[in-house]
Structure 1
Amino acid sequence: MKKFIHNIKKLACVAAASVLIIGCNATSQAVSNNENDNNMMPKISVQLWSVKDDVKEDFKGTLTQLSKMGFQGVEFARDFGPFANDPHGLKQFLAGLNLQASGAHIPFSYLDDANFLSTVAFYKTLGCDMLIVPYDERAFSADGIEWVVTELNRLAKKLAPYGMKVGYHNHAQEFEAYKQTTYWDYLAQNTLDNVVLQQDVGWTTYSGNDPVAYVRKYPGRTLTTHYKVRLPEGTQGKLPIIGKDTIDWPSLIQANKEVGGTLWLVVEQEEYPNGLTPLQAVAESKKGLDSFL
Structure 2
Amino acid sequence: MALLDHSWLQLLMAGALGLVLTQFAFLGHEASHRQIFASNRANDHGGRLLAVGFAGISYSWWMSKHTRHHGNPNRVGKDPDIAVDAVSFTAEDAATKRGLVGWFTRRQAWFFFPLLLLEGVNLHLHSVRSLVRGGPRPGRRRELVALVLRLALWVALLLWIFPVGLAAAFLGVQLAVFGLYMGGTFAPNHMGMPIVPADAKLDFLSKQVRTSRNIRGGIWMSALMGGLNHQVEHHLFPSMPRPHLRAARKMVREHCRVLDVPYTETNLAVAYRSVLGHLRTVGLAARDPFDCPAARSMRFG
The answer to whether the superposition gives a TM-score over 0.5 is no
More strand by share: 1
Max Rg structure:
2
Q: Give the helix-richer structure, 1 or 2.
A: 2
Higher relative contact order (CA 8 A, sep 6+): 2
Scaled by the length of structure 1, the TM-score of the pair is: 0.29
